[in-house]
Amino acid sequence: MAAPIEIRGFQYWPGHLDVSAQSTLLSDLRAVVAAAPLYSPVTPGGRPMSVRMTSAGRLGWITDQRGYRYETHHPAGQPWPPIPPAVLDIWHALTGLARAPDCCLVNFYGEGAKMGLHQDRDEGDFSFPVLSISLGDEALFRMGGPNRTDPTESLWLKSGDVLLMGGPARLAWHGIDRLRFRSSRLLPGGGRINLTLRVVEGATSPLSS
């Protein structure tokens, strides 16, 4: 395994997945989306997000007028499908953890979609990292520090790139400013898929009730 590049505490493996591994993941994700269709989430403030979203795993991340949280079921009522084994393999190989993630959040970016600067802090234990896998069109990823006003640095994430946000960077602010729509040929209609793998366990999890 090649050593990752370190940027602002993030560990970055550019081109970790070759085209054949990317295609395999894509077909696995088509099965996920068939069982748990992408939907357009709304922020707690009532704003529609420009990405479409679904999840795989024991828990899925949800946002709606009631807030940000993890749920055991898709908004349409079915349980989330399992995380594809090929995705779990990447998690175990790059994190070195025996513990499997509870959630694989799937974000789909169509033309013009972006994601505002945020922290990932709905999980119960920040000692576990978040692993991100990019597929499809290139996207401008902005990385900051633990405070919203910390200086930021940007990076074009490409299809097959993998990024780990752990340790001191676990609560870093980050977001996607824009896409180079149709810069990749992986998705026939263009667009980008980002997978984020998370351990959710903890007292705030809905599983504890």
Question: Segment 186-205, which members bind ligand MD6 (CB under 6 A)?
Answer: 194, 196
Coil, helix or strand at residue 29: helix
Residue recorded with tokens 């640095």:
153
Burial label for 193, CB within 10 Å (0-12, 13-18, 19+), is buried
103 and 53 in contact (C-beta within 8 Å)? no
Sign, CA torsion 55/39/76/61: positive
Q: Is 120 in the site for Fe ion (CB under 5 A)?
A: yes
Neighbour count for residue 84 (Cβ, 10 Å):
19
115 and 173 in contact (C-beta within 8 Å)? no
- Please report how close the Cβ of residue 206 comes to Fe ion at its closest, in angstroms: 20
Question: Segment 11-50, which members bind ligand MD6 (CB under 6 A)?
Answer: none
Question: Segment 132-171, which members bind ligand MD6 (CB under 6 A)?
Answer: 132, 141, 163, 165
* Residue nearest to Fe ion according to CB distances in the complex: 120
In the complex with Fe ion, which residue's Cβ is closer, 97 or 117?
117
In the complex with ligand MD6, which residue's Cβ is closer, 37 or 116?
116
Strand-pair category, 5-7 with 10-13: antiparallel
Q: Which of ligand MD6, Fe ion, none interacts with 62 (beta carbon under 5 to 8 A by kind)?
A: none
- Please report how close the Cβ of residue 115 comes to Fe ion at its closest, in angstroms: 7
Distance in angstroms (rounded) separating the CA atoms of residues 165 and 173: 10
Binding site for Fe ion (CB under 5 A): 120
Binding site for ligand MD6 (CB under 6 A): 107, 115, 120, 130, 132, 141, 163, 165, 174, 176, 194, 196
